[in-house]
Amino acid sequence: MNQHSRRAFLPHLPGPLLTAYLDINPANPRNQRTPRGYVTWLKATGRALENYVPRSDREAFRTQLQRVDQYLRMDLPRGRGVVVFSGSNVWEVVPLQVDVAEEVHWGKPSLQHMLWLLDEHRSRGVVVIEGSGARFFQFWLGSITEDRTAAFSADISSWRAKHLVGPSHPGVSKRHGVQRDRVRDRMAAHRNRFARELARRISRWAEEREIGPIVLAGINEMVDTAFKALPESMRQRVSVVRKALPRVGVGEVEAKLGPALTRWERQYEKALVSKLIEAHGSREVAIGLDATIARLQDGSVREMVAARGLSGSVRQCPMCGRADRSADMVCAVCGAERQTRSLRTILPQFATLYSVPVEVVAGEAAAKLSQAGGIGAWLRTRKL
C-alpha cells in the first residue's frame, strides 16, 4: 500500500481496536532474548493500560492484546519496527524499516505516530532511463521497491526511417547531405516526444504517490532532454545523474543512486531552513514552537518545517482543543482541565486538521533549525 492510500485508508478502520507500535529491531539487545523484549514490553504495557480501558471494553481489549501477542511470537515480519491494528473485524500489519517509538492505544486507530513517521521518512523516487523506456523505484519508510505499474516504454522501431538511412555494407559509402540531416532531425523529434511523454509520466507518478525528491538517471543526451521537459515545479525536486544503468536491480539502485538522492535531499533541506531563518522577523514566517503552534491554530500556516527528533510537550484542552506550553492546568478559553500531549503526537494531528504539509529535515538542516527552536512555518500572506 503506498503512502497516499495508507493515509486515506487507516483513519477509517472501525474501532474499538488495539493499536501497537513496536520496536522489533533484532540489533536491539533486548530483542535478542527469549521472550523478545517487545513481547515483554507489550505484555507489561497492556496490563497497565487495561486499568484505563472502559469496563465494557476490557474483555475485547484482552482478546486483541492476546491476538497481537500470539502474532509476535509466531509470525513476526522482518524489519526494525511494526505497527499492528487489531480489532474484532480488523487486522492490519505495517512492517517498517525505520525506528519507532513504542506505544499502545485502545479505541479509535491511533495514527499520530504513523503520520509523523510518514512525514519524517517521506517517499522518494528514482527513475532510470534505459534504452527505449524508463523504470520507476520508490524509497519509502526505509525500503525500496520497483513500481512496475509506472514503467514507461516507447516503440522506437520507426525512429530511423529505412529510406533515409544509407547503406552499411563494406565498401559502400554512407549517404550525406540532406538525407543525413533528415535522419538527424527525425531522431531529435522522436527523442523530444519521448522526453515529453516520460516527463508527464514522472509528474503524474510523483503526484499520485506523494513522492518528494526524485533522482533521474540515464545517459547524457536522453536524461537531459527528459529533465528539460519537466515542469519548472518538478525540476526543483529532481536531481540528474548522468549514468547508464542497464537492467539495474533494486539492490543496485539503492547502492548506486541512494547516496545521490540523500545528498540532494540534505542540500535541499539546508537551503529550505536557511531561507526560513533568513526571513525571521518578517510577516512570512513563524520561528520557534510557541509562535508556530499559535499561528498553526489560527489557520495562517501554509507549510511547517520541523527538525527530525523533535521532542517536548504542550498542554491541550480536551474540550476546545487549544494547546500551548503554558503551565496552566485549566484552559483559559473554556475552563476545562488540560492534558499533556507530546509534540510528536499533537503536531501531526494539527497538520491533518488544518491541511498543512510538514517537511521534516535531518542532518545539518535539523541542527540549524534546532538552534532556532526546532520548528518553523511559512505563513499564508494576505493580498492587499
Helices in the chain by DSSP H: which ranges? 3-9, 37-50, 58-74, 112-120, 178-209, 220-229, 232-235, 250-278, 289-297, 343-353, 363-370
Residue labelled with grid coordinates 491533518: 352
Predicted local distance difference test score (pLDDT) of residue 115? 74
pTM score over 0.85: no
CB 360 within 8 A of CB 260: no
* Percent of the chain clearing pLDDT 70 (strictly above): 87
Per-residue pLDDT tens digits for 105-122: 999 888 878 877 777 777
pLDDT band (50, 70, 90) for residue 325 = very high
- Give the other-Cβ count within 10 Å of 244's Cβ: 15
Q: Please give the Cα distance from 314 to 339 (Å, whole number).
A: 8
The domain made up of 3-110 is a member of CATH 3.40.50.1370: no
Choosing among 3.30.70.360, 2.30.290.10, 2.60.40.10, 3.30.420.60, the CATH entry for 124-268 is 3.30.420.60
Mean pLDDT for all residues in the chain: 86
Per-residue pLDDT tens digits for 220-279: 788 999 999 999 989 988 999 998 888 888 888 989 898 888 888 899 899 999 999 999
Predicted local distance difference test score (pLDDT) of residue 112? 77
Per-residue pLDDT tens digits for 141-165: 778 899 999 888 876 555 554 444 4
Sequence spans of domains, the chain: 3-110, 124-268, 279-379
Q: Please give the Cα distance from 373 to 370 (Å, whole number).
A: 5
Q: Please give the Cα distance from 292 to 269 (Å, whole number).
A: 19
Per-residue pLDDT tens digits for 269-293: 999 999 999 999 899 999 999 999 9
Q: Please give the Cα distance from 239 to 346 (Å, whole number).
A: 33
Higher pLDDT, 47 or 95: 47
Predicted local distance difference test score (pLDDT) of residue 65? 97
Predicted local distance difference test score (pLDDT) of residue 297? 93
Domain 279-379: CATH architecture, name and number where available: 2-Layer Sandwich (3.30)
Average of per-residue pLDDT across 317-343: 89
pLDDT band (50, 70, 90) for residue 341 = confident
